[in-house]
A and B are shown apart, each in its own frame.
Chain A
Amino acid sequence: MVANFRKNLVISAILAVSTAFSASLSAAPTLKVGIYLPMSGRTASFGADVYSGMKMAIDEINKAGKVKINAILEDEKSEPTDSANAVKKLINIDKVNIVLGSVASSNTNAAAPIAQAAKIPLMTPASTNPNVTKNGEYISRICFIDDFQGSALAKFAKNDLKATKAAIVLDSASDYSQGLSAAFRKEFKALGGEIVTEVSYQAGDQDFSSQLTKIRTKKPEVIFVPGYYSEVGNMMRQATKLKVKGPFIGGDGWSADELAQLAGDGIEGHFYSAHFSHEDTDPAVQGFVKKYKSLMKKNPSDMAALGYDAIYFAADVFKRNGFKTDAEGLKNAINTTKNYPGITGNITLDSDRNATKPLVIIATHKGGHKFKQRVQP
């Protein structure tokens, strides 16, 4: 009993000291960051990956102690309505200084008007649909947009894969899928290619055999699938069974470990564009890859790298605003960003608050994906 009491005393003493210690730490200027990501639902892999990078950056920054990042995470459940609610909560109840997120463009698009109306800066690490930042001057992103991604993929299909006939399979309810296929269609036609058929599916569909049968009859040389990994992986598997000849090409929505798991043998020989490759030999990238690998026991995806960049970018914006948390100052600091050196490339925001950055094309393989080429904007 006495021993127990003593133990308790010691513990409470330690607690008291450590609270005092952390209190002295929090004397560093604090930025309250609201994060909303798909931690569950159909695109939960994106949430997990982006947050793994964010968490790593937050821990590094807080350990360094010059500024403190006070992060609040909300799950947007891979749904637009939940995204809007999450951002409402972050702004109205948690009173965050800046909002970071989300990944799927439809979800960021649903949340952005709320941040814009409340005049709180919202910066998305990974939503690529051009319309997202058109919600207003408080909305920005640190990734490229689908106009660039779609046209880069069209050029890749035409010039590198030597394809002249393409089929498009799109998710009819997704802003991302629509925007990306519009950009692809425009560029591919401009290059003299032909779109032989366009078919669509809905998020949550499991069966793509009828769409694939239709594609098979049109004999395209490349199949463009601007969707998310959960459906695309399944589609690849079924394509192998139905003997549909690829290759498939797609955008950053493929970027998840689950793609290969779901596709099985069907994963071999396709291409997608991403924000970053862990095979990049740049020393800064390799430093990040090493740290990430020792922490997470796997290679970072581009989503993880974007999450990492987003937090450091927010800290940099905070610093450039003189460690003040006023929304207007933060917004101006974001919108005037020039050559911020991120892991995913140099970030310069244009007048539409979009970043102009290179992309990488990645070839999918059963034993692990391989870097194929880099495309400059």
Chain B
Amino acid sequence: MSEFVQYLVNGFAQGSIYALIALGYTMVYGILKLINFAHGEIYMIGGYCGIFLLSTLGLPFWAALMLAMPIVGIFAVLIERFAYRPLRGAPRIAPLITAIGVSIVLLELTRLVAGAQPRPFPQPFEDMSYELGNWIPALDGVIIQRNQIMVFIIAIVLMVLLNAIVMKTKIGRAMRALSMDFDASRLMGVPIDRVIAFTFFIGASLAGAGGMLVGMYYNQVEPYMGQLAGLKAFTAAVLGGIGVIPGAVIGAFILSISEALVVGYSESSYRDAIAFAILIVVLMFRPWGILGRPERVKV
């Protein structure tokens, strides 16, 4: 029992990170039908940004987080402006390849500037962990780290904020309109350039926060961290239904918890195989993902 709960705890902490990254994939896809493969690298840059703000400028954690998010966001807006916008009318494959190119450029640039070595991330909070067995005897041996709780809470708060922006604000309404019908929105006078830039900004801010949280949680940041995490987050977004915001979150938790359980109760070498097998099975029965809606073919 306590073992199972420990796997759940591990899964939830990891899932919060996947979710923060997955949101960016899903938002951009929802509007532009573009899989922004550079998104994993944006997340990685968030981690480096965190190191810079925390150790070079010596900012406190909360200030660094508040600053890192818009910095990474603006960075993504610039990428959109110079790499994706010129290709907006082009066939869908062109921006996709561009995204892969941007991803490689960002990865290699970071490697050149910061070095390939994993960099230790400054620890803003002292390590602390709680043993649940002290309160609930049945859960003897379950350990929750304070960092896990922080990661989970910050992720949830950011997601609630995102939901409020998308559902309650004018620009959020414009985003939803664009994702429903791009051309109709344009005809109705939605300032598409601004809305798209804003979408990139928000998605990248979340990924940047994810990068910082991961740096704090694992105490390291390295240029390659975005590759595997990006792939997993993308999988989570597809699993939940790409283009659907709550889907990304649900997909992320399903993925991370099944990963933790596979490692715990089966062969750990099957972890990724089983995680992706779940994806395949879900897509066989619901090709549009768990919360996605079947795409209507417009005549």
Contacts and interface: CB of A to CB of B under 8 A. Distances in A.
Interface of A: 40-42, 44-45, 78, 172, 199-202, 204-207, 209-211, 213-214, 216-217, 230, 234, 237-238, 241-243, 258, 261-262, 264-265
B20 to A, nearest CB: 15
A258 B117 contact: yes
A205 B228 contact: yes
Contacts of A210: 7, 10-11, 259-260, 263-264, 268
Given A44-B116, A210-B259, A204 B220 contact: no
Contacts of B103: none
A234 B218 contact: yes
Interface string B144-169: 01000000000000000000000000
B60 interface: no
Given A202-B272, A211-B268, A234 B117 contact: no
Interface in B1-56: 3, 6-7, 10-11, 13-14
A264 B123 CA distance: 11
A231 B211 CA distance: 18
B129 interface: yes
Interface in B258-273: 259-260, 263-264, 267-269, 271-272
Interface of B: 3, 6-7, 10-11, 13-14, 111, 115-118, 120, 127, 129, 141, 143, 145, 214, 218-220, 222, 224-225, 227-229, 259-260, 263-264, 267-269, 271-272
B127 A214 contact: no
B224 A213 contact: no
A262 B129 CA distance: 19
Contacts of A213: 3, 6-7, 10, 264
A224 to B, nearest CB: 15
A52 to B, nearest CB: 14
Nearest to A210: B263
Contact of A45 (B7, B117, B120): B117
A45 B127 CA distance: 27
Given A40-B111, A172-B269, A237-B218, 10 more contacts: A41-B224, A78-B116, A200-B268, A202-B228, A207-B14, A207-B218, A210-B263, A214-B268, A242-B143, A243-B143
Contacts of A241: 127, 129, 143, 145
Contact of B116 (A41, A207, A242): A41
Contact of A204 (B3, B141, B145, B228): B228
Contact of B3 (A205, A217, A237): A217
Contacts of B141: 216
Contact of A262 (B13, B111, B115, B120): B120
Pairs A-B, 7 closest by C-beta atoms: A210-B263, A40-B116, A209-B10, A44-B116, A199-B268, A200-B269, A172-B269
Contacts of A264: 120, 219
Contacts of A243: 129, 143
Contacts of A265: 127
Nearest to A172: B269
Given A206-B220, A241-B143, A214 B263 contact: yes
B116 A262 contact: no
B207 to A, nearest CB: 16
A202 B14 CA distance: 16
29 contacts: A40-B111, A41-B224, A44-B116, A45-B117, A78-B116, A172-B269, A200-B268, A202-B228, A204-B224, A204-B227, A207-B14, A207-B218, A209-B260, A210-B259, A211-B268, A213-B3, A213-B10, A234-B219, A237-B219, A238-B218, A241-B127, A241-B145, A243-B129, A258-B117, A258-B118, A262-B120, A262-B219, A262-B220, A264-B120
A264 to B, nearest CB: 6
Contacts of B214: 206
Contact of B224 (A42, A201, A258, A261): A42
Given A213-B264, A258-B118, A207 B10 contact: yes
Contacts of A40: 111, 116
A288 B39 CA distance: 47
Contacts of B220: 206, 234, 262
Contacts of A78: 116
A106 to B, nearest CB: 16
A261 B222 CA distance: 13
A37 B3 CA distance: 42
A45 B115 CA distance: 11
A210 B224 CA distance: 22
Given A41-B224, A262-B118, A211 B143 contact: no
A22 to B, nearest CB: 31
Contacts of A201: 268
Contacts of A200: 267-269
A44 B13 CA distance: 29
Nearest to B218: A206
A199 B7 CA distance: 15
Contacts of B272: 202
Which one of A40, A213, A238, A262 has the highest number of Cβ atoms from chain B below 10 Å of its Cβ?
A213
Contacts of B145: 241
A65 to B, nearest CB: 35
